[in-house]
Chains A and B, each alone.
Chain A
Amino acid sequence: RKEVEQDPGPFNVPEGATVAFNCTYSNSASQSFFWYRQDCRKEPKLLMSVYSSGNEDGRFTAQLNRASQYISLLIRDSKLSDSATYLCVVNMRNSGYALNFGKGTSLLVTP
């Protein structure tokens, strides 16, 4: 079983739609949680960190449920420029900054 699991998609949504991505992680010792965005043939870039209290950054909302070992990302009012792969990332306790990446969920926003 992979440590971080994501639905690979692809998710095809029209502009303005709301889309939600889910992610589960297997190791309860996981300490930090993130969503990264990766454009085609580019490097991953941090989209947002995820906190137990939930956090919002503009159109993006991230939630963490430690009991269920579940992370989510909600994108409201999708833009064409949101088209990318979204990577769920977990940092293990005592592993420095070694990041465990999910396989990524592909999003295509269409006009």
Chain B
Amino acid sequence: ETGVTQSPTHLIKTRGQQVTLRCSSQSGHNTVSWYQQALGQGPQFIFQYYREEENGRGNFPPRFSGLQFPNYSSELNVNALELDDSALYLCASNTLEGKMNTEAFFGQGTRLTVV
């Protein structure tokens, strides 16, 4: 196991609702990244947090937002859910030290279904 845990593992929401997904990073890691993986696709980068600040963002609308806490755990919030938001949401943690990146470890993911 990687030491990266996500909750919940599965979730069903209705279109228009809001959802919060959680991630506990591996001990010693200071960076958390979130990815969306639709069925049959590779994971797509949503954003990354480093020491509680957003440190890069992919091509996702502002209704996708996040937080990183002092213990380096993180939340992904999605507002105004759409049917196309149905996907596996993956959290990955690693350590960013200057320009050096350590290997990213992924959590098991949260499978979100929007109906």
A95 surroundings in chain B (CB, below 8 A): 56
Interface bits A86-111 vs B (CB < 8 Å: 1, else 0): 01000100011111111110000000
B106 pairs with A45, CB closer than 8 A: yes
Q: Quote the shortest CB–CB distance from B90 to chain A (angstroms).
A: 6
B31 touches A96 (CB 8 A): yes
Asked if A50 is at the interface of the complex by the 8 Å CB criterion, the answer is: no
Query: Is B84 an interface residue, CB under 8 A from the partner?
Result: no
Which stretch in B12-20, B42-50, B72-80 binds the other chain? Answer: B42-50
**Residue numbers in B under 8 Å from A43 (CB-CB):** 2, 90, 106-109
Q: With A43-B90, A46-B103, A91-B101 in contact, is A98–B42 under 8 Å at CB?
A: no
Contact of B90 among A44, A91, A96, A102 (CB under 8 A): A44
A99–B43 touching, CB < 8 Å = yes
Residues of the A chain whose Cβ atoms lie less than 8 Å from the Cβ of B48: 96-98
The answer to whether B31 touches A101 (Cβ under 8 A) is no
The answer on a CB contact under 8 Å between A97 and B101 is yes
- With an 8 Å Cβ cutoff, the count of chain A residues facing the other chain is 19
Distance between Cα atoms of A46 and B106 in the complex (Å)? 9
Q: How distant is the Cα of A104 from the Cα of B88 in the complex, in angstroms?
A: 15
User: In whole angstroms, what is the CA distance A87 to B41 when docked?
Assistant: 10
With both beta carbons as reference points, the residue of chain A lying nearest to B57 in the complex is identified as A98
A1 at the interface (CB under 8 A from B): no
Q: Is A4 an interface residue (CB 8 A)?
A: yes
A-to-B contact residues, CB < 8 Å:
4, 32, 42-46, 87, 91, 95-104
New A-B pairs, 13, CB < 8 Å, besides A42-B108, A97-B31, A99-B104: A32-B101, A43-B2, A43-B90, A44-B90, A44-B106, A45-B106, A46-B104, A87-B43, A96-B56, A97-B104, A98-B33, A99-B45, A100-B45
